[in-house]
Structure 1
Amino acid sequence: MSRKETDSIGAIDVPEDAYWGAQTQRSLINFAIGQERMPIAVVHALATIKKAAARVNNRNGSLPQDVARLIEQAADEVIGGQLDEQFPLVVWQTGSGTQTNMNVNEVIAGRANELATGARGGKSPVHPNDHVNRSQSSNDCFPTAMHIATASAVYNQLLPAIAELSGGLAEQAARHGNVIKTGRTHMMDATPITFGQELSAFVAQLDYAERAIRSALPAVCELAQGGTAVGTGLNAPAGFAEAIAGELAALTGMPLISAPNKFAALAGHEPLTIMSGALKTLAATLMKIANDLRLLGSGPRAGFAEVRLPANEPGSSIMPGKVNPTQCEALSMLACQVMGNDTTITFAASQGHLQLNVFKPVIINSLLQSIRLLADGCSNFQAHCIAGLEPDAAKMSEHLERGLMLVTALNPHIGYDKAAEIAKQAYQQGTTLREAALQLGYVTEEEFSEWVRPESMLGNGHTH
């Protein structure tokens, strides 16, 4: 069963149970590309814009109270997720996101009309363009929704997840601050560190990434709304940009403001590109953490075997008892995806032409996927890896005792060349440093014991 809906091109059949109208239906036909639907967070952000615009337009006298009330009621249902199935459009559509903006306009109008008359869809008493889209353009609505969706995902999902992982690593670093082990540079044995020091580096790296993300947020909180078609604000009343930004800030609880230059806000996407770069920084940090723990947990008998990673599931369909570092692998893979998304975003953001960048859907789809993956990845890695990992202190001690770079402690006493000779002989003969040093006669037993003490080679404040 279907009903007729119309737009400037003419009439078209729309499913009877759909709230959307003609423009949404044409998009479904004309852009049957892939399966990636427009992120629902963008839809919810657009509905929030429609709600805010209805309030502002009502206050300035350009929208009747009863129409504004109907728009708000329908918008609240969209924001609350009650109508999610009414937004079927894919990412691969017009580069301005116009079809998705109209999908939201039509659904809100269609639902508002049902509330008013009992008949779903149509354009009366609430018109999707004249009323729901009043004082707006897809060209300022969609980038505003991109920024709102991004800021919301970062504030509500990503930053708390980073804090979870960072806190878990800090707790482990404090717990194991006195477990001394061999440090490694160039993948080769180096001077001693503690396991706590090793983990503290991860905490600091996450802190750098978090600060980069936070520093990118103020620009993301600047909104294009009010620029309308090309940035001039045509068909929006004076003061509309500032008024709707204030309304959106109140509705979302985020520090949203009107962008100082609407031309740039429509034509470019520097704030989201910068945010993507910060997300890539976090991805690089997570890759480092995953790879280090993968190496430290390798074994259990033919690898480093210095860290016991949680055994969450069987690791092989053929090798009984095998357990793999699957959490490290998942974290590594999502980091790769985020780095790829950053490349997509960078290229898409560079392709703005004249007054409008028309790569908006792919930018926001990639960005929101990155945020979601990073947030889920941090939380999952903390819960299923970091919380349950344990150092193998005995294995660390064994590696430390057999390590050759403890010889560095002899440099101030016998010089670099003699110390290097001791290390070389110990390696060639398979003996300990102590044995080689005594054989060469460069130190006494007492001197070696006094000078080569791993606990004295850790620097000040070594537990953190």
Structure 2
Amino acid sequence: METRVESDSIGRMMIPQEAYYGVQTQRGYENFRITGRRMPAEMVESLVEIKKAAALMNQKTGQLDKEVAEAIVAACDEILAGALRDQFILDPIQGGAGTSANMNANEVIANRASEILGGPRGDYARVSPNDQVNMSQSTNDVFPTAGRIMLLKMIPRLVHEEKRLYLALERKAEELDDVVKMGRTQLQDAVPIRMGQTFHAYAQAVRRDIIRLSRVEKELLSTNMGGTAVGTSLNAKPEYVAGIHQELQQVTGLELVPARDLLDATQNLDSFVSLSGALKIQAVTLSKIANDLRLLSSGPKAGMGEISLPARQNGSSIMPGKVNPVIPEVVNQVAFAVMGNDFTVTMAAEAGQLELNAFEPVIFDRLYDSLSMLTEGLKTFTDHCIQGITAHKERCAKQVHESIGLVTILCPAIGYKKAADLAKKALAMGISVKDLVLAEGLMDFRTLEKALDPHAMTGPKREKPSMIRAV
């Protein structure tokens, strides 16, 4: 392999001649081989968009030569179109608060811009990674802003899948609203409810998740770009600081705005904790629904067996015909991983010291992971589980008829103590509450039939929901 020599403040280093990255990227590559992965494409694109916006703004303020600015912008556009992605070689988790990632972008862009201007790779006389590509910037405003841009571009995909799940649950609620089943508290028979009410309740929890995430999304639009090293805007012209967000808006398509206090936004990462918390709550919601579906579909003969989930694959290598609730199971596992990621984000945000938090790389890596998994997990849940659920109406009705929970409706007429005695007696004798009440002559058949109507116990039938509304 042909090589070239590059140097930095640490010393000299051999770089592959064909590489667009340089010495600082190479050091980062050798220092941080942690996950075996590279920075996600979304993070690379966000860094490059920032470099493009900065070049345009620096040209407007007169700090950056027009020809050099245009070469930097052209290099950025090539990368954003998909070129040179193999030159972004760094692990997403790295020391230095993202300096290696920032320099990877600076060096690739500088070398490509130099080529555009007719120079060789590795010759930074005309386009320097630090002096031109990183002009008016610091890793400390570039990297967290890139993280925000990445997350903001991922959130709409998650919200889209959340809305699809919400609508699927509401449709299932409408479809199964005539199925009466026993409600359970603490896994014991309680009082009847409609299957539609169960799924409507799931939908409402998902709806709150959507609202919660939308609030956090707005919070993320505020960035510390222009604050440079610690938020004081050192080495950045006032005109640059005032205009960089407008350029970022044009380049990214996002309504990014400057933080009220750039020092605060540089050192405090609470908005990322808010996002992680919202994702954790979403995970809790999904896991609870998944747990319920596994219970309600358990059996099919020796469990609750009130619903059937779509059969997706064989459930056993030894037991023929066994089908497992594999989709709720994978949703549970996604939820567990997201909850673990939230703990990592919490600890990393808390660990910041004085004017900077050095642990943004792991925060962005874990948030990227949570957003990616939740987006795919929601899609899988909706498409491969929720839409295909069916209910066993007759089995549900039989369980309601045989449950001693029906005695609750008789409390106003016969009192709590007498109702409790009836419940124990019916359970001991193995007969229904209805048959026992008739046998003891406590109520006539017509009155009892009306009192024990399961549908009446579930409350008024709700109006059909508007599927467009609510989200």
Interval of TM-score (by shorter of Structure 1 and Structure 2): over 0.9
Q: Which residue of 1 aligns with 2:193?
A: 193
Equivalent pair of 2:162/2:206 in contact (CA under 8 Å) = yes
Give the alignment's TM-score, normalised by structure 1: 0.97
Question: Residue 359 of structure 1: CA displacement?
Answer: 0.5
- 1:143-164 deviations in Å (ceiling 9; x for gaps): 1111111111112x11111011
Secondary structure of the corresponding residue to residue 356 of structure 1: coil
Paired letter, 2:437: A
Q: Which residue of 2 aligns with 1:58?
A: 59
**Cα 1:228–1:455 shift into 2, 3 Å:** same
Separation (CA, whole Å) in 1 of partners of 2:34 and 2:413: 72
- 1:63-82 deviations in Å (ceiling 9; x for gaps): 11111111111112222332
List alignment gaps of at least 5 residues for structure 2.
Answer: 465-471
Give 1:301-450 correspondences, 5 Å limit: 301-450=301-450
Give 1:115-194 correspondences, 5 Å limit: 115-117=116-118, 119-155=120-156, 157-194=157-194
Question: Residue 280 of structure 1: CA displacement?
Answer: 0.6
- 1:261-311 deviations in Å (ceiling 9; x for gaps): 111111110100011111111000000111011111111111111111011
Secondary structure of the corresponding residue to residue 316 of structure 1: coil
Give the alignment's TM-score, normalised by structure 2: 0.95
Paired letter, 1:378: L
Question: Residue 389 of structure 1: CA displacement?
Answer: 1.2
- 1:128-179 deviations in Å (ceiling 9; x for gaps): 1111100000011001111111111112x11111011111111111111221
Paired letter, 1:451: A
Equivalent pair of 2:39/2:91 in contact (CA under 8 Å) = yes
- 1:409-444 deviations in Å (ceiling 9; x for gaps): 111211111122221111111101112112333222
Secondary structure of the corresponding residue to residue 117 of structure 1: coil
Please say if 1:103 is aligned against 2:117. no
Separation (CA, whole Å) in 2 of partners of 1:206 and 1:288: 11
Equivalent pair of 2:32/2:94 in contact (CA under 8 Å) = yes
Paired letter, 1:418: K
Separation (CA, whole Å) in 2 of partners of 1:450 and 1:395: 21
Q: Which residue of 2 aligns with 1:236?
A: 236
Equivalent pair of 2:61/2:239 in contact (CA under 8 Å) = no
Equivalent pair of 2:225/2:244 in contact (CA under 8 Å) = yes
Secondary structure of the corresponding residue to residue 431 of structure 1: coil
List alignment gaps of at least 5 residues for structure 1.
Answer: none
Please say if 1:249 is aligned against 2:249. yes
Secondary structure of the corresponding residue to residue 191 of structure 2: strand
Give 1:71-86 correspondences, 5 Å limit: 71-86=72-87
Question: Residue 463 of structure 1: CA displacement?
Answer: 6.2
**Percent identity over paired residues:** 42
Q: Which residue of 1 aligns with 2:31?
A: 30
Separation (CA, whole Å) in 2 of partners of 1:123 and 1:275: 40
Secondary structure of the corresponding residue to residue 137 of structure 2: coil
Separation (CA, whole Å) in 1 of partners of 2:406 and 2:345: 47
Backbone CA RMSD of aligned residues:
1.4
Separation (CA, whole Å) in 1 of partners of 2:80 and 2:402: 62
Q: Which moved more, 1:254-263 or 1:6-15?
A: 6-15
Say how many residue pairs are matched.
463
Separation (CA, whole Å) in 2 of partners of 1:26 and 1:148: 26
Question: Residue 118 of structure 1: CA displacement?
Answer: 6.1
- 1:391-412 deviations in Å (ceiling 9; x for gaps): 1112211211112111111112
Paired letter, 1:90: D
**Cα 1:126–1:306 shift into 2, 3 Å:** same
Q: Which residue of 1 aligns with 2:468?
A: none
Secondary structure of the corresponding residue to residue 182 of structure 1: strand
Paired letter, 1:291: N
Separation (CA, whole Å) in 2 of partners of 1:390 and 1:242: 58
Separation (CA, whole Å) in 2 of partners of 1:173 and 1:242: 51
Separation (CA, whole Å) in 1 of partners of 2:253 and 2:183: 46
Separation (CA, whole Å) in 1 of partners of 2:114 and 2:317: 58
Runs of 4+ with deviation above 4 angstroms? none
